[in-house]
Structure 1
Amino acid sequence: MSAGGSIWYIHPYAGGPGIGRYDRPFHLAREWAARGQPSVILTAANHHLLDVPRPAGCESVQGVPYEFLPTPRYRGNGLGRIANMAAFSFQLVRHADRLARDHGRPSLVVTSSPHPYAFLAGRRLARRFGARCVFEVRDLWPLSLVELAGVRASHPLVRFTGWLEREAYRTSDDVVSLLPCTREHMRAAGLDTARWHYIPNGVAAASAPGELPDSEAARQVRAWRAEGRAVVVYAGAMGRPNHVSTLVEAMAEEGPRRLASAVIVGRGELQAELRAQVEALGLQGHVRIFDQVPKAAVQRLLREASAGYISLRPEPIFRFGVSPNKLFDYMQAALPVLFAVRAGNDPVAECGCGFSIDPGDAKAIAAAITRLAQMPEAERADMGRRGEAYVARHHGYDTLATAYLQLLGKAGA
C-alpha cells in the first residue's frame, strides 16, 4: 500500500502501449497501482523513441498516468537534442507544484538515466517535497561516451558528465542499477554500496496466444518448421552494436544450411547491408529479413520459433553486465537461446537455457545452431522451460515493482 505519497518516475524517453517500445515505466506503474501505490510517469512530449510526438499534458495510458512535458523537437545528436534535454529538466522544475496538485506529493522520486542529465532536476524535486531520491542507472555515464562513442576523456561533456555521476552517487538516497556488475565501479566513484540495489530489466505477463497478431515473419517460421527445419529468430535492432551479420555468416555453414533457417526481424541502419549479405551468400532460401513488427506480434513470432538469437559486438563496457530485453522475451517464450555475448554476466549459462558462444565466431555459432537443430524436440522444450522459469523468478515486473516498494518503505524510516 501507499506509504503516504506517490512515486514520481522521471524517464526522458518513457514508452508504453502506443507510445514507444521502452515500456519499463508503464509496467512498473501498473504493478504499483495493483498494490494501491499511486504513481505518475514524467517524460518528454518530444523525443526520438516515441512512436509519434505527444501533445503536452496529462494522458492516461491503460490507467497509468503520464505527464508529457513540453520539449522541442530535434533530429540526430546535435544541439537540438541538447536543447531538448535542458528543456525537459527545466519543465520538471517549472511544473512541480502543478504535478503535486494533480498527482499527489511524492514520497519517492526516481530519475532514470537513458541519459543522466535530468538527475539534478529530480534531486531538486525530491528535496522540495521531502521525498526519497533514487537514481536509476540504465547505462554507465560517462563511460558510455568514452568506450562506445569514442569521445575523448578530456572532452568538456565527459568531464561534466563524470562530475554529475559522482554527484548522483554521493547525494542519492538509493542507486538502482539495471546492470548486475556495477557495484565496485560505483563504489570507486563515491557510492556507499549500502545504497546500491540491482533491479534489472523485466518482462510483462505474457498475453494469451489468441490475443497475439500474426505477421508475415511468423508465417514464414511456420512454413519452414512444417518442412522439418529448426528456425532461429533474431528480433531486435540491426545496428553495428548488434553484430547480426555473424548470424548470417553462420547460416552459410554446412550444418545450418541442411537443418535450420533464420528469421531476422527489426530495423536499423544495417538492414540493407544484411539483405545484401544474404543475397551474396546465396541464402535467400535459408534466411529472411523482415521489418519491425509490433511487440505483440513479436511475442507470437517467438512462440512459433525453435530458438532465439542474441548478439552484441564485444565492448569493454559489457564487463559491468548486460540486461537485454530481447533475451528476457526469448526466455519468457520458453525458447532455447543462442547467447553470442561476452559480458560480466551470462544468464543463459546461469540457468542452462541455451548455448553461450563468442560473438565473433561464426563457425562456433553455426555449430551451436546445428547442435540445437539436432536435439530432440523434448530436450529443446526442457531447455526453454528452464529459461522461462528463470525469467519469471528474477525478471517479472511484479518482482521488480516490489523491490522498488521496499525502497519506498525506507521513506518513513
Structure 2
Amino acid sequence: MPVIAPIQVWFVNHYALAPDQAGGTRHHTLARLMQDQEVEVTLIASSLDHASRQDTRLAAGEIIKVNMEEGVRFVWLKTPAYTGNNLGRGRNMLEFARAVLALKPSHDLPRPDVVVGSSPHLFAGFAALLLARRFQVPFVLEIRDIWPKTLVDLGGMSERHPLVMVFGRLEKLLYRQARVVISLLPGARSHMEQVAGQSVPFVWLPNGVNAQPGPIVPMTDSSPTFDVIYAGAHGAANNLDTVLDAAALLQRCGETGGRPVRFVLVGDGPEKVRLQDAAKQRGLSNIVFRDPVPKREIPATLAAAAACLMPLKDSPVFAHGVSPNKLFDYFAAARPVIFAINTPFSAVDQAGAGLSIPPEDPQALADAVLHLAALPLAERQAMGERGRAYVAENHDMRGLARKLANVLRVVAGQKV
C-alpha cells in the first residue's frame, strides 16, 4: 500500500473550542479523526470564549499559546473582551484577524499546505485568505452561518449598514477566491453563486456526532415530570422567548392531566440573564435554567429528557438549511425532538424522529409538548430510535472526517 505524505492544514476559526469547553467542538473532532487520514490540523482560535466571555486559555500577560488539546494542536490568540453585539465585538473580530496575520511557522507550528477560513464573521476568512497568499498555498472557505445575510435577516441590521456592506464585499471576494467552499447548509450553493456571479466549487459537510457512542439510557416514564430539554446557546436567534410563552400557556391552563411539563434550558449566552429575569417576573415555575456543560457531558444531560427542543427564529436565511450540533446530539440520545424551524431541510421529518411545528408559535409548542406527553412510551421510544439510526447513517463524524480529509488532500494536490 503506498505511503501517503501527511499534509498540514491551518484552520482559522475564531470560535473553535476544546473538548472541555461548553459548545460545539466540530473542528476539534474533525481534526482528531483526520489524523488517521494523514491530515494534521492546527486550529487557530481566540482564547476568549464567546459564550461565557471568559479567557480560560491564556495567563495574564500572554498573547499567544500553542498547545495540544486532547491530541489536537491549538493556537490560542488573545483578543479583547466584549459584551453583546456592539462595537466591542467588532473590535474583537478585527483584533483576531490581526493576530492571525501575525502568525509565522515555528518549531511548534508547522508551515501549512492548505489554509481554511471558517465563518461566521468574514474577517477570519479574509485573514485566512491573506495567509494562504503569503504561503502560496490553496485557500478553502467554510461557511457555517451566511454573513452578512444573517445579520440582516436575524440581526435586524440595515443592508446599508457599513459593516454589512463591508462583509458583503468580503463575501463576494472569498467565494471567488476559495479553491473550495465547504458549508454546513445543504441549500447554500445557489446563494453563493448569486453573490459571486460565477460557479462556486461546493462541498456540503454537515455537523455530526460519534455514531458509535456508548449505550443509551432507556427512556422511561418514572420521572415525576415530563422534561423537555433545550441544550445550546441562549442568543437572540435561538428564539427562547417562545419557550417562556409556551410555558406560561401550559401553566395557565394547568396542562391536561399526566405528569407536569417542565422546560429545562441548559447553556449560556447573551440572552440568558434577561430570560431568567423574565421567567421570574412571570412566575414561571415550569422553566428551569441550568449551567452549560462540556460536550462530553451532553449525553448524560440529555438522558434525563423526555423530549428535546430545537427552536430558531422565523427567518428567510434558514431557507438554505440548518445543521445545529444540538440536533444531532438529541438524535444520538434517542429522544424525540420538537423541531421549530422554518426550513425545507428538516432532518426530524426525514428521520421521522419527532414533531415539526412553526417557529415563534407558543401555542404550537405547547400543543406539541402535550401531544408527545400523551403518546405511549413505546411511540416516543420509536421516534428516538429512528433519530439515532438516522444520525448514525448520515452524520457519523468518522465519515465526515474522511470526506473532509479527501477534499483537503485534493486541494493540496494529492491523489486520493
TM-score range relative to shorter protein: 0.7 to 0.9
Aligned AA for 1:18?
D
Q: Distance in 2 between matches of 1:139 and 1:347?
A: 18
CA distance in 2, matches of 1:242, 1:83: 24
Superposed CA deviations along residues 88-126 of structure 1, whole A, max 9, x for unmatched, are 32332322333xx53433222110012110222212222
Kindly tell me the number of residue pairs found equivalent between the two proteins.
399
* Aligned twin of 2:153: 147
Q: Hey, what's the Cα distance between the residues in 1 that align with 2:129 and 2:158?
A: 28
Tell me, yes or no, if structure 1 residue 52 matches structure 2 residue 55.
yes
Q: 1:65 maps to what in 2?
A: 73
The answer as to 2:83 corresponding to 1:93 is no
Distance 1:33 1:169, change over 3 A: same
Q: Assess if the C-alpha contact under 8 Å between 1:246 and 1:362 holds in 2.
A: yes
Q: TM-score, normalised by structure 1?
A: 0.86
How many Å separate the matches in 1 of 2:180 and 2:99?
A: 24
Where do 1:253-292 residues align within 5 Å?
Answer: 253=253, 255=255, 258-262=258-262, 263-271=264-272, 274=275, 284=285, 286-292=286-292
Identity of aligned residues (%): 36
Residue identity opposite 2:238 in structure 1: N
Q: 1:144 to 1:270 in 2, by over 3 A?
A: closer
- Return 5+ residue gaps in structure 2 as ranges: 59-63
Name 1:376's counterpart in structure 2.
376
What's the offset of the Cα at 1:76? 4.1
- 1:312-351 to structure 2, matched below 5 A, reads 312-351=312-351
Work out whether residues 246 and 359 of structure 1, in 8 Å CA contact, stay in contact via their aligned partners in 2: no
Instruction: Looking at secondary structure, tell me which structure has more helix per residue.
Output: 1
**CA displacement, residues 41-60 of structure 1 (integer Å, 9 cap, x when unaligned):** 11223453465342222111
**Alignment correspondent of 2:365:** 365
2:237 to 216, 237, 241: 241
SS for the counterpart of 1:310 is strand
Q: Residues 74 and 362 from structure 1, CA distance in 2 versus in 1: closer, same or farther, beyond 3 angstroms?
A: closer
For 1:71 and 1:294, the matched residues in 2 are separated by 22
**Given residue 127 of structure 2, which amino acid in structure 1 is its aligned partner?**
A
Letter in 2 for 1:42: I
The question of whether the paired residues in 2 share the 8 Å contact of 1:3 and 1:107 is answered with: no
Contact 2:186-2:321 within 8 A present in 1 as well: yes
One-letter code aligned to 1:5: I
Q: Contact 2:115–2:139 at 8 Å: present in 1 too?
A: yes
- Kindly provide the amino acid, as one letter, of the partner of residue 230 in structure 1: F
Counterpart amino acid of residue 412 in structure 1: G
Are the structure 2 counterparts of residues 279 and 9 from structure 1 closer, same or farther at C-alpha, using a change threshold of 3 Å? closer
* Residues 249 and 197 (structure 1), Cα distance of their counterparts in 2 relative to 1, 3 Å cut: farther
Shift of 1:86: 2.7
Secondary structure at the aligned position of 1:304 is classed as coil
> RMSD between aligned alpha carbons?
2.9
- Residues 257 and 131 from structure 1, CA distance in 2 versus in 1: closer, same or farther, beyond 3 angstroms? farther
In structure 2, C-alpha distance between the alignment counterparts of 1:326 and 1:54, rounded to whole Å:
25
- The more displaced of 36-45 and 275-284 is 275-284
1:223-275 deviation per Cα after TM superposition (whole angstroms, max 9, x unaligned): xx425653322222334432322441353345466444223323345545655
- Give per-residue Cα distances to partners, 1:29-87, cap 9 Å, x unaligned: 11112333212111223453465342222111111111113434444444443333333
Distance 1:404 1:190 in 2: 23
Answer whether contact 1:337 1:355 (CA < 8 A) is retained.
yes
| Residue of structure 2 equivalent to 1:110 | 116
Aligned to 1:231: 227
| Larger RCO (CA within 8 A; separation ≥ 6) | 2
Once structures 1 and 2 are overlaid, which stretch shifts more, 345-354 or 269-278? 269-278
Residue 398 (structure 1) shift:
1.1
Partner of 1:170: 176
Match of 1:11 among 10, 13, 16: 13
The structural deviation recorded for 1:342 is 1.3
Unaligned runs of 5+ in 1: 213-220
Equivalent position SS for 1:338: strand
Q: Residues of 2 paired with 1:153 and 1:204: CA distance?
A: 40
Which residue is 2:125 aligned to?
119
Q: Quickly say closer, same or farther: Cα 1:304–1:193, change in 2 above 3 A.
A: farther
The answer as to whether partners of 2:7 and 2:38 remain within 8 angstroms in 1 is no
Q: 1:72 touches 1:84 (CA, 8 Å); kept in 2?
A: yes
Secondary structure at 2:191's aligned position in 1?
A: helix
Contact map agreement 2:176 2:200 (CA 8 A) in 1: no
TM-score scaled to structure 2, two decimals? Answer: 0.85
- How many Å apart are 1:127 and its aligned residue? 2.9
Structure 1 position 26 matched with structure 2 position 24: no
User: Are 1:108 and 1:134, in contact at CA under 8 Å, matched by a contact in 2?
Assistant: yes
Counterpart CA distance in 1 for 2:215 and 2:165 is 50
Amino acid at match of 2:93: M
Looking at structure 1, the residues matched to 22 and 101 of structure 2 have their Cα atoms a distance apart, in angstroms, of: 24
